[in-house]
Chain A
């Protein structure tokens, strides 16, 4: 804005109404040939829509959808393209028509007055006053019983749907179920999904086994909940590569280690195991755990190492759990460490 445009002090109106912009006639307004052309264009676009409808109908009745993926895809594509052309043709044609041929006048529609008329305002206030007087909640003849009972009714009515809601969360208030899984001393590690037990000799170096506890498949109900807590990744490293954590010397067997597959960040299944780097990657947020070093976090948003499942080998050579996990699996929750006597001291001090 240049200096000349600034208004004088005391000027009544700071800005002038700029009015509607300069009206530029369209080609179709001044040239009948252009108007005819626009008409033909619009008709052609509607024509495309008609073609689209015919294509879709011919496709539907004339084509064999078949059984193979390819024929189904072709069938779907013809139907989809036909319908798209039919719909888009109508829409694009209508807009083109409106833009080129329909009336091109700038129109001004004034806002109506925001304020109601004085009579309407007085009437509204009078209605309210009459209502209060009729109800007897105020004024000379007060009905206090009515007032009290109404307020009570309003106050307790929400309980009718809040109480069942909260009550149905019942189990979810009980966080102790997060502390324990199906694993216990002597429970065999078995293959997901068929549940066959795993011999230590079968876990060759570089192997990765996706593991569920023995007996999971036989559960009558709650199977998926138990599985969600108990899934384990079993891998064998070259024993030289494995740095056994202090206090966990007897949790592994000849380079075989088992870690919970539930990410300590938000509980995704961590299962992208790179056997050369021994890194275990979570696909959700790229938390990376180093299996060779107690599954400690080497990258990403997770805060704690994956819980380790202590394992040993039974008389028949099968891998079994020595106990449950020594800490709750998965992401944090309130009271996670309450009453927990395991190795979390070190972690909480971080």
Chain B
């Protein structure tokens, strides 16, 4: 398990590195402290490439100018690069089918294409930018403080350790056990789908990093043993009633049965 956790780190590291590199190259990370995330100054060729990708992959729903269509897809003006990096980087967009919500799935685009799409959407209006590697580094966060904030702001939907949970009418708060720190940060900043926005005035950038540190600290699992997905009493009771009581009944039958 520890080896796995370490591996996961290694997996995320190149992603963060690439994102950082791209962010530096495109100047996205130039302004990192301001809470209102300035418009990015990406290179014009990136924006151009991004527009092409957008027209061929996203415009069907979001409209040719990314203005959105009523009842189909929201306007993307002002959602910023962070929203694109989250939605496309976790595979939620492009959406496969309309439904209760767009689930995370296999990522369609390369890192470079995602950055280009993000640059294009960011050029449409001011919005939050992709965080730097330092902003999301769990090593720099305070997990204990993060727990307090997570409990107040996030645990009601995502569960006490980020195992996820059900919402209404087929919607759900996904598990955060596999989500990269960058995507966790972006989700808080942009409020994707049912999730409310937690801007930097609500949860400061340092606090967001604390929350990431808390979530990453949960990934080694529970020292007590099986956590049943950390989704609370339903899963635990399912085991106690079905598996536990089932075993008790089976052994009662065995004790009472005559030997052959």
Binding site for B on A (CB under 8 A): 24, 26-28, 38, 68-73, 76-77, 80, 95, 99-100, 191-193, 198-199, 202-210, 235, 269, 271-277, 279, 281, 283, 286, 288, 299
Contact = CB atoms under 8 A, between A and B. Distances in A.
Nearest to B157: A272
Contacts of B148: 193
B10 interface: no
Counting from the closest, the 7 A-B pairs by CB-CB distance are A202-B201, A208-B196, A69-B220, A274-B194, A70-B2, A271-B156, A72-B223
B224 interface: yes
B225 A77 contact: yes
Nearest to B219: A69
B222 A73 contact: yes
B1 interface: yes
Contacts of B149: 193
B220 A70 contact: yes
Contacts of A207: 191, 196-199, 202
B260 interface: yes
A235 B196 contact: yes
Interface in B195-231: 195-199, 201-202, 220-225
Given A202-B199, A208-B197, 4 more contacts: A38-B259, A99-B258, A100-B259, A206-B197
A206 B156 CA distance: 17
A68 B153 contact: no
B202 A202 contact: yes
Contact of B221 (A24, A73, A205, A269): A73
Contact of B168 (A198, A205, A274): A274
User: Interface residues of B: mostly helix, strand, loop or mixed?
Assistant: loop
Interface string B245-256: 000000000110
B220 A68 contact: yes
A209 B201 CA distance: 10
Contact of B152 (A100, A203, A210, A288): A210
Contacts of B195: 275
B142 to A, nearest CB: 13
15 contacts: A27-B259, A27-B260, A28-B259, A38-B259, A69-B221, A69-B222, A69-B223, A70-B2, A71-B2, A73-B223, A73-B224, A207-B196, A269-B156, A274-B167, A275-B191
B33 interface: no
A70 B168 contact: no
A251 B61 CA distance: 37
A283 B223 contact: no
Contacts of B191: 206-207, 275
A232 B95 CA distance: 35
Given A193-B152, A202-B202, A209-B202, A76 B197 contact: no
Interface residues of B, number: 35
Given A28-B259, A99-B259, A208 B222 contact: no
B119 to A, nearest CB: 23
B171 interface: yes
Contacts of A272: 156-157, 167, 173
A274 B167 CA distance: 8
A279 B260 CA distance: 62
Interface in B152-210: 152-153, 156-157, 165, 167-168, 171, 173, 191, 193-199, 201-202
Contacts of A276: 193-194
A27 B258 CA distance: 11
B3 to A, nearest CB: 9
A277 B194 contact: yes
Max chain A Cβ within 10 angstroms of own Cβ: one of B223, B224, B254, B259: B259
Nearest to A236: B197
Contacts of A283: 156, 165
Contacts of A198: 201
Contacts of A38: 259
Nearest to A38: B259
Contacts of B224: 73, 76
Interface in B33-86: none
Given A68-B2, A70-B221, A299 B168 contact: yes
Contact of A279 (B168, B201, B221, B225): B168
Contact of B194 (A24, A68, A235, A275): A275
Contacts of B196: 206-208, 235, 273, 275
A95 B253 CA distance: 12
Nearest to A192: B152
